[in-house]
Chain A
Amino acid sequence: MKALVIGNKTSHLIDGLGFIQVLASELGESIEAYGLLYGNQVEEVKGFTKIFSMPDASPEAVANTVSKVIEKVTLEIVVGPAEKNGTEILSRVASVNNMPMITEVSGISKAGDTTYLERAIMGGRATALYGFKTPIAVTVPAKKFKVSDAEATPEFEELQVIDGVTKVVEVLPKEKGAVDLEAAEIIVGVGRGFKAKDDLAMAFELAELLSGEVGCSRPVAADFKWLGEDRWIGISGKKIRGKLYIAVGISGAPQHIMAASDTKVIVAVNKDKNAPIFTFSDYGVVADLYQFLPVFIKKLKEKKGL
Chain B
Amino acid sequence: MDIAVLVKASLDVNMIKADSEGRILFDSIPLAISEYDRNAVAEAVRIKGELGGKVVAFSVLTWGPVDKRAREIENVMREALALGADEAHVVVDDTILPGDVSVTAEVLSNLIKKTGDFGLILAGEGSMDMMSAQLPVRIAYKLGYPVATFARKIEVINGAVKVTRDLEDVLQVVELPLPAVVSVTGEINQPRLPTLLQIRKSFAKPYKAYTISEIGMDAPEKLFPFDDIKLVTVSRKNMIIEGENLEEIAEKLIDKLIEEGVVRV
Residues of A within 8 A of B (CB): 58-60, 83-85, 87-88, 91-92, 94-96, 98-104, 114, 116, 120-131, 133, 136, 164-174, 176, 186, 210, 218-219, 222-223, 229, 235, 243-244, 253-255, 258, 261, 264-267, 273, 276, 278-287, 291-292, 295-296, 298-300, 303-305
What is the distance, in angstroms, from A181's C-beta to the closest C-beta of chain B? 15
Q: Is the interface of A mostly helix, strand, loop or mixed?
A: mixed
Give B215-251 interface residues, CB cut-off 8 Å to A: 223-232, 234, 236-241, 246-247, 249-251
Please give, as numbers and ranges, the residues of chain B lying within 8 Å of A83 by CB-CB distance. Answer: 167-168
Rounded to whole angstroms, the CA-CA distance of A167 and B249 in the bound complex is 58
> A88–B137 contact, CB under 8 A?
yes
B209 at the interface (CB under 8 A from A): no
Residue of A nearest to B185 (CB): A222
**In the complex, A223 Cα to B190 Cα: how many Å?**
9
* 13 interchain pairs, CB-CB under 8 A: A87-B134, A88-B150, A98-B223, A124-B232, A169-B175, A186-B263, A223-B187, A280-B234, A282-B238, A282-B260, A283-B237, A292-B246, A296-B246
Looking across the interface, which residue of chain B has its beta carbon closest to that of A133?
A: B224
CB within 8 Å for A174 and B229 given contacts A280-B234, A287-B246? no
A128–B173 contact, CB under 8 A?
no
Which of B16, B134, B165 has most chain A Cβ within 10 Å?
B134
Within 8 Å CB of A278, what residues of B?
Answer: 238, 240
Given A83-B167, A281-B236, A244 contacting B226 (CB threshold 8 A): no
Complex contacts, B140 vs chain A, CB 8 Å = 95
Which one, A254, A273, A298, contacts B14 given CB within 8 A?
Answer: A254
Closest approach, in angstroms, between the C-beta of A63 and any C-beta of chain B? 9
In the complex the two chains form, is B257's CB within 8 Å of A244's CB? yes
Residues of A within 8 A of B128 (CB): 122-123
Nearest chain-B residue to A94 (Cβ)? B134
